[in-house]
Structure 1
Amino acid sequence: MIDEKVAQLIGDLEEEDVLEIIEDFVASSPSEEDSKKVLAACQKGMAIVGDRFEKGEYFVGDLIFAGELLTESIDLLKPVLGSSQSERVGKIVLATVRGDLHDIGKNIFKTMAEAAGFQVIDLGIDQSEEMIVEKIRDENPDILGMSGILTLSLKSMKDTVEALKSAELRDSVKIIIGGNPVTKEASDDIGADAFTTNAAAGVKMCLDFLR
């Protein structure tokens, strides 16, 4: 089965083999239904990558490479996916919070979330509470994702949640936070709905929010 093979090859980071198989598949004029199965296989492959990262078998560079491979694969599949691929599963506003300039984890999460069908509005790094609140008001997303690597970013996350409460927007959006200093205790203190230090797991949580 091509879908099982694609999932395994993406999980193994075999770029040339993945792209060759998908190019041949697209050239065979497949049905939209079969194309969706291959798209799902690409996402399954990313789940394999995420699991291997969690076990310490893969590193950050592997995650970035896998994200780029996934983007290439989806671009190849777009012509045979039909119009339904443009139907998004949900909208995420994503930001590295005030005082923090790190974005590798955020960028990996963004790539994986887009591959899962989310529209992602990435505000970038060092985003103030006011800017995030303004975007939540303007964009009305399903989910707010906040990232930070520095310990001080936890206070910025908490301040952002408080600002959303003051603006009476907190109940309109699910909040997921991620980054090295994030723990369950920190997440509870901040008032987030979920936390993760793993991009693939974070995307699964976001999908669960919408179910």
Structure 2
Amino acid sequence: MAFDNLKQALLDQDEELTVQLVNEELAKGSAARDLFDALSEAMTEVGEKFANMEFFLPEVMLASDAMKAASDILIPEMAKTNSQAESLGTVVIGTVQGDVHTVGKDMVVGTLATGGFEVIDLGKDVAPEVFIEAAEKNNASIIALSALMTATMPSQGDVINFLNSKGIRDKYKVLVGGGVVHQDFADKIGADGYAKDAIDAVVEAKRIIGK
């Protein structure tokens, strides 16, 4: 399997080795997108291990840190591939208020960036007004909301309610996702799109803006 050592470094939650191997592979001429895809596969395995109680939250967070460090290197490299292409629009993305998980969100940042979007990553525990301020400031087309806990799912709806209260709901498409989120919930809160994973996020983002 391609990039086995890289995947194992992430599964071992070894951030330093993960970054070292990413840099070594780039120096060899490996494509940044291929490296990102390999790490995404490893993160999917991390999620499965968490679901099966082979990993617990500390291991997931350490693996997420390694993924973030690698993504900080790979996303700019991947974006260069699309530098000559016209941007599809700007996406403001973050994990909603009350939620500090970034695993899925960080993967979506990477796939959106390589899919032709400009991405503004607001990080974690983001309040509704911060999403709106960033969307207005950056002339965004899409606001993407991640929630990894059942208790924070309503915060996705809070952002949509905030848009409605400001009378600017029609200005933005809202895309929701996260391990606990599902299509029925997305429909219930009035989201424009729902993505089940990082790859689907690009497909849905393009769909909801008509690209």
TM-score (norm 2): 0.64
Gaps of 5+ in 2: 114-118, 207-211
Aligned to 2:209: none
Q: What is the CA deviation profile of residues 96-147 of structure 1, one whole-angstrom value per residue up to 9, with x for unaligned ones?
A: 34xxxx2312x3344333343542331764624x554443333214332154
For the 8 Å contact 1:95–1:123, the answer to whether it is kept is yes
Secondary structure of 2:25's partner? helix
In structure 1, what is the Cα distance between the partners aligned to 2:78 and 2:24? 18
Q: What is the CA deviation profile of residues 6-36 of structure 1, one whole-angstrom value per residue up to 9, with x for unaligned ones?
A: 234423535565445445435xx322x5444
For the structure 1 residues 77 and 96, does the alpha-carbon distance in structure 2 shift closer, same or farther, using more than 3 Å as the test? closer
Residue identity matched to 1:145: L
Aligned to 1:156: 158
Q: CA deviation at 1:190?
A: 1.1
For the 8 Å contact 1:52–1:58, the answer to whether it is kept is yes
Aligned to 1:55: 52
Matches for 1:150-189 after TM superposition, within 5 Å = 153=155, 156-157=158-159, 159-160=161-162, 162-163=164-165, 166-169=167-170, 172-176=172-176, 178=178, 185-189=184-188
Aligned pair count reads 194
Q: What is the CA deviation profile of residues 60-104 of structure 1, one whole-angstrom value per residue up to 9, with x for unaligned ones?
A: 32222112112333456689x47616858862332534xxxx231
For the structure 1 residues 157 and 40, does the alpha-carbon distance in structure 2 shift closer, same or farther, using more than 3 Å as the test? same
For the structure 1 residues 203 and 163, does the alpha-carbon distance in structure 2 shift closer, same or farther, using more than 3 Å as the test? farther
In structure 2, what is the Cα distance between the partners aligned to 1:74 and 1:6? 13
Cα RMSD of the aligned pairs, angstroms, is: 4.0
For the structure 1 residues 202 and 61, does the alpha-carbon distance in structure 2 shift closer, same or farther, using more than 3 Å as the test? farther
For the structure 1 residues 207 and 84, does the alpha-carbon distance in structure 2 shift closer, same or farther, using more than 3 Å as the test? same
Q: What is the CA deviation profile of residues 125-176 of structure 1, one whole-angstrom value per residue up to 9, with x for unaligned ones?
A: 4624x55444333321433215473586476345235347x32525x41320
For the structure 1 residues 205 and 63, does the alpha-carbon distance in structure 2 shift closer, same or farther, using more than 3 Å as the test? farther
Secondary structure of 1:71's partner? helix
In structure 2, what is the Cα distance between the partners aligned to 1:153 and 1:10? 30
Matches for 1:1-211 after TM superposition, within 5 Å = 2-15=2-15, 17-26=17-26, 29-31=27-29, 33-75=30-72, 81=77, 84=80, 91-94=91-94, 96-97=96-97, 102-105=98-101, 107-118=102-113, 119-122=119-122, 125=125, 127-128=127-128, 131-139=130-138, 140-145=140-145, 147=147, 149=151, 153=155, 156-157=158-159, 159-160=161-162, 162-163=164-165, 166-169=167-170, 172-176=172-176, 178=178, 185-193=184-192, 201-211=196-206
In structure 2, what is the Cα distance between the partners aligned to 1:142 and 1:75? 22
In structure 2, what is the Cα distance between the partners aligned to 1:73 and 1:23? 9
For the 8 Å contact 1:187–1:195, the answer to whether it is kept is yes
In structure 1, what is the Cα distance between the partners aligned to 2:78 and 2:130? 36
For the 8 Å contact 1:10–1:66, the answer to whether it is kept is yes
Larger radius of gyration, structure 1 or 2?
A: 1
